[in-house]
């Protein structure tokens, strides 16, 4: 019999219960027992929901209090020495210290580095492999969850990051050994883990090895063979799980590894199916990811069945059906979304609906298409209604896109000439200080926004409240003596949602939350049609903020690639076409800000690296259109207008040439968690423009010390000329409280002052 399963489910809860419990625990309002009870209740609820959808087993271990990679680091004893003695049993305090830093020891207890999970907007905690590391198994948490699921009468399928992917994700610290040197010891720990899971009655373990969709050297390919050969006995059945891309030259390797099944992502790479069926040994299961775990549109179930019918006839009960990847990347349930146009809403499928689609496909293959004829026709009708929506195609937008030329993507002169004009206009000191854009979203701000949305506060009252918060933010920044100010973004819920709400072509959910990291959740907009800007979006707020001070105030925009990446994007045209539409809308906003007298305009592109394809051979095509879209948005200004951009939590080495091609006058980047390691890319490349390396980690509650920030900037000055360095946090301050922000920025300004004094002397 054909089986249905799932690779992972969203953790946060339909009402974001996990988020609220985490933040209450961090504030000391609830004990750990209450937090763990909330977690247990969410797991049980999600397992029951998945079982009721017809899944033959449920994923266990996909749930995490913060991050699944961090969970594995504690399970394997990979705890940096700054958080405790080697070999100690990791505690919940250790867990959150690694994730958020140690407030009591901000100088040494900094949090683990955080970066993007492949090409998604989910952030994971990077494992740190220190000298003399000894892996130790601490599997009690995973075994407890297995027991919880079994006690509910469910077949538990533990989800484990594979040993090769876990090593790939980590970084070797302060030693010269290669990561693969650590593999033999790590494999021994995996063997012990699998043995314990077998003893616990587990039949199948899902072993995630998504790096098989990347470019791998011969050494890493050989490491797969040796590692899985060592894991071939004394274990449950293993489902080797890949996703996010095409295995290409690694497909034959994956088919022949000594495991019991293979999962392939057919949404990203449908061309894998036929060769996999040829190469997979006849005793192995083939799991097919046929429902898109990365986007929110209904699948073409009739078309999928045309593909799956012959596969089912050939494989029989060796065929498993699943989403393409974990459903962590989509919201939980769209049944409560009543404010979206019904023609668009009918075409949506969140996690619950995707599981229903998997179950429906299973039924159709097992019982015949006629058994689900009504559901298939309903799905076809919903897709047709969405594609017939009048906002989908706008002739004016398409004509404008057709008229884009190369001149629109070029500044008037090069950076060297612009730099002189901008310095004369701005009159900034050496090591100018600024922030990334947002300031704390206080309870008062959230209350005003909530009251306005509920009709309890008129528009005029809401706008007046926002102006008061902007004025307060400007006053605080002046008191801190920051050199370049921001208006604080009090009026913005989210850096993408805010712009989508004012652009044509977008719709919005009310409960479509997705985890970004830890307790941080975002509510991505949905792009369903052609994008256009009906009116100015930020100009009046920027103009008001600038009227309050003689210091320059940055205009703050989110870039076209980031708006694209952090939205759920229409699937009926190339992503590059949609991005160019967004770029043209932003170009108009940039021009209006410049006409309003705004001297510095920041166009954030934190998702530029995230959008990079997994295979290097696919990079040039993506980078061409991504860079072009940024330049279309930014290049229409005079030389005297300074363009900034911001990027965070990414490995920049891969795309440093493309970053230079953006031709932003100033780029601010995240470097605090990596101890300025990311600057190596900019120094080795001889990056020509100005850089603001983030000197403190805003995701940690710890107040950074002046000396540490000064030291980081001195380290930066060894790679980048001092006259091209800015001093700033590593990201926006929206999620922090003023009681943390002001002392941190005061210390940051003091660090900049010391740097100037030294430079002058």
Helix%, strand%, coil% for the chain, nearest 5 = 45, 15, 40
Distances (CA, A) of 737 to 137, 472, 700, 701, 740: 38, 14, 11, 9, 5
From CA 597, how far away is CA 724, in angstroms rounded? 24
Q: Which one of 72, 469, 644, 699 is the catalytic residue?
A: 699
699 is an active site residue? yes
The residue assigned the tokens 């404010």 is 339
Q: Which two tokens stand for residue 329?
A: 């990347």
What are 291's strand-pairing partners?
323
From CA 349, how far away is CA 335, in angstroms rounded? 9
Q: Which of 639, 602, 636, 630 is nearest to 486 (CA)?
A: 602
Q: Which of 582, 552, 755 is nearest to 644 (CA)?
A: 552
**What sign does the dihedral 487-492-493-496 (CA atoms) show?**
negative
The DSSP code for 259 is S
From CA 171, how far away is CA 115, in angstroms rounded? 12
Answer for the pair 685, 672: CB distance below 8 angstroms, yes or no: no
Answer for the pair 507, 516: CB distance below 8 angstroms, yes or no: no
Backbone angles phi, psi at 752, to 5 degrees: -65, -40
The DSSP code for 122 is -
- Contacts of residue 439, defined as CB under 8 A and 6 or more positions apart, other chains included, come to 473, 476, 486, 488, 489, 490, 733, 734, 738, 741
Answer for the pair 611, 654: CB distance below 8 angstroms, yes or no: no
From CA 641, how far away is CA 590, in angstroms rounded? 10
- Contacts of residue 524, defined as CB under 8 A and 6 or more positions apart, other chains included, come to 496, 497, 512, 514, 566, 567, 568
Q: Which two tokens stand for residue 119?
A: 């090409």
Known catalytic residues are 699
């Amino acid at each position: 019999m054909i089986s249905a399963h799932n690779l992972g489910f969203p953790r946060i809860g339909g009402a974001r219960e996990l988020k609220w419990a985490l933040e209450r625990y961090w504030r000391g309002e609830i004990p750990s027992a209450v937090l763990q009870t909330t977690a247990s209740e969410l797991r049980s609820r999600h397992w029951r929901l998945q079982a009721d959808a017809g899944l033959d087993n449920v994923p266990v271990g996909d749930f995490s209090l913060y991050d699944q990679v961090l969970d594995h680091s504690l399970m394997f004893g990979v705890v940096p020495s700054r958080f405790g003695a080697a070999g100690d049993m990791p505690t919940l305090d250790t867990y959150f210290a690694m994730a958020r830093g140690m407030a009591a020891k901000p100088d040494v207890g900094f949090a683990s580095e955080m970066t993007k999970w492949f090409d998604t907007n989910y952030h994971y905690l990077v494992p740190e492999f220190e000298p003399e590391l000894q892996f130790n198994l601490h599997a009690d948490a995973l075994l407890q969850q297995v027991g919880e699921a079994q006690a509910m009468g469910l077949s538990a399928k533990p989800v484990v990051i594979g040993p090769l992917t876990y090593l790939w994700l980590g970084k070797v610290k302060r030693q010269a050994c290669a990561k693969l040197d650590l593999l033999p010891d790590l494999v021994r720990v995996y063997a012990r883990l699998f043995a314990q899971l077998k003893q616990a009655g587990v039949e199948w373990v899902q072993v995630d090895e998504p790096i098989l969709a990347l470019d791998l050297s011969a050494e890493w390919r050989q490491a797969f063979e040796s590692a899985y050969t060592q894991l071939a006995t004394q274990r449950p059945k293993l489902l080797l799980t890949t996703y996010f891309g095409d295995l290409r030259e690694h497909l034959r390797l994956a088919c022949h590894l000594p495991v019991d099944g293979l999962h392939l992502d057919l949404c990203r790479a449908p061309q894998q199916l036929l060769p996999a069926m040829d190469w997979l040994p006849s005793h192995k299961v083939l799991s097919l990811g046929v429902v898109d775990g990365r986007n929110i549109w209904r699948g073409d179930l009739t078309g999928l069945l045309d593909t799956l019918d012959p596969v089912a006839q050939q494989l029989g009960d060796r065929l498993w059906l699943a989403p393409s990847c974990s459903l962590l990347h989509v919201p939980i349930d769209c049944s409560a979304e009543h404010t979206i146009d019904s023609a668009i809403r009918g075409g949506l499928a969140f996690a619950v609906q995707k599981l229903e689609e998997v179950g429906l496909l299973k039924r159709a293959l097992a019982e015949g298409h006629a058994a689900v004829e009504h559901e298939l026709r309903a799905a076809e009708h919903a897709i047709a209604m969405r594609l017939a929506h009048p906002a989908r195609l706008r002739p004016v937008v398409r004509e404008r896109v057709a008229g884009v030329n190369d001149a629109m993507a070029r500044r008037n002169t090069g950076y060297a000439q612009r730099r002189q004009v901008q310095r004369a206009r701005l009159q900034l000191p050496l090591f100018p200080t600024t922030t990334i854009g947002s300031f704390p979203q206080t309870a008062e701000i959230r209350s005003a926004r909530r009251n306005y949305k509920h009709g309890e506060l008129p528009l005029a009252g809401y706008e007046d409240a926002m102006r008061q918060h902007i004025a307060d933010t400007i006053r605080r920044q002046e008191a801190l003596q920051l050199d370049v100010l921001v208006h604080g973004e009090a009026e913005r819920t989210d850096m993408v949602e805010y712009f989508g709400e004012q652009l044509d072509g977008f719709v919005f959910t009310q409960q479509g939350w997705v985890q970004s990291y830890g307790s941080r959740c975002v509510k991505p907009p949905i792009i369903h049609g052609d994008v256009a800007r009906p009116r100015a979006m930020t100009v009046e707020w920027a103009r008001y903020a600038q009227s309050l001070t003689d210091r320059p105030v940055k205009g703050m925009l989110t870039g076209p690639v980031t708006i694209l990446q952090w939205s759920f994007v229409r699937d009926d045209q190339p992503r590059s076409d949609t991005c160019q539409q967004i770029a043209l809308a932003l170009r108009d906003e940039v021009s209006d800000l410049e006409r309003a007298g705004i001297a510095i305009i920041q166009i954030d592109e934190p998702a530029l690296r995230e959008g990079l394809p997994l295979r290097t051979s696919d990079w040039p095509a993506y980078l061409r259109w991504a860079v072009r879209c940024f330049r279309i948005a930014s290049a229409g200004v005079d030389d005297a207008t300074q363009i900034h951009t911001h990027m965070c939590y990414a490995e920049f080495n891969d795309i440093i040439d493309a970053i230079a091609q953006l031709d932003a006058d100033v780029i601010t980047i995240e470097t605090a968690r990596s101890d300025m390691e990311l600057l190596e890319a900019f120094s080795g490349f001889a990056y020509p423009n100005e850089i603001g390396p983030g000197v403190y980690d805003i995701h940690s509650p710890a107040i950074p010390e002046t000396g540490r920030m000064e030291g980081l900037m001195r380290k930066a000055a060894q790679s980048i000329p001092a006259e091209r360095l800015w001093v700033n946090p590593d990201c926006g301050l929206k999620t922090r409280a003023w009681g943390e922000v002001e002392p941190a920025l005061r210390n940051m300004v003091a660090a900049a002052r010391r740097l100037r004094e030294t430079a002058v002397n």
